[in-house]
Amino acid sequence: MGYRINTVYTRSGDQGQTSTANGNRVSKSCSRIALQGDIDELNSWLGLLRQSRLPEGFDAILNHIQHTLFEAGAEVSSSHPCLEMTDIQWLEQHIDRINAQLPILREFVLPGGNQDAAICHLTRSCCRRTERTAVHVNQEESLSPVLLGYLNRLSDLLFVMARTLARQDGQSEVLWSPRHVESD
């Protein structure tokens, strides 16, 4: 049986402090706590994405990622490495497999195309912000390079998933068209 939380509220955080997995009390404005919040938000976006119309196999991938992100949150809270290089390699295998089914990208893609792709792009953008927060934390105190790499690769996976979702039902991706500025 997994972990069980019996009490939802403790009142111990009412003054802006929280506890880490190590039992240390820190300010809720601490950069590690901000990173945990970003990971939590990313996991929530993944949960929303899982409610979209997804190609076969995508839901299982996203479910696995949600569980891995809980490990990432535990790593941030405890300063004890939980993610491994195999987690990054797992993402890379899925990126390569999905990307091989897509046409070569010659232009930038605008987020959107349809609701499912737009949700995936929002999730990707949240992942990129989470990665930036992790880089900020890493500049203050060392994080595992695996965690940083995992977040970077996860945004890549979400990008190829968004491209796939935009092309569902014979639709096409929305490509960026740069404005052509005429000179005098």
Q: Break the chain into its structural domains and give their ranges.
A: 34-170
Between residues 121 and 18, which one has the greater pLDDT? 121
> Cα–Cα–Cα angle for 122, 128, 132, nearest 5°?
145
- Could you say which DSSP state residue 170 is in? G
Residue 27 clears pLDDT 80, i.e. is over it: no
C-alpha angle 47-52-58 in degrees, rounded to nearest 5: 75
Q: How far apart are CA 53 and CA 173, in angstroms?
A: 16
Cα 69 to Cα 151: distance, rounded to the nearest angstrom? 9
Least confident of 6-20, 85-99, 120-134: 6-20
- CATH code reported for the domain at 34-170: 1.20.1200.10
Q: What number is the average pLDDT over the span 126-144?
A: 97
pTM: 0.88
**Separation CA 161–CA 45 (nearest Å):** 14
Residue 29: pLDDT band with limits 50, 70, 90: low
Whole-number mean pLDDT of the chain? 89
Residue 134's H or E segment, with its range, is helix 115-140
- What is the per-residue pLDDT across 41-65, written as a single tens digit (0 to 9) for each? 999 999 999 999 999 999 999 999 9
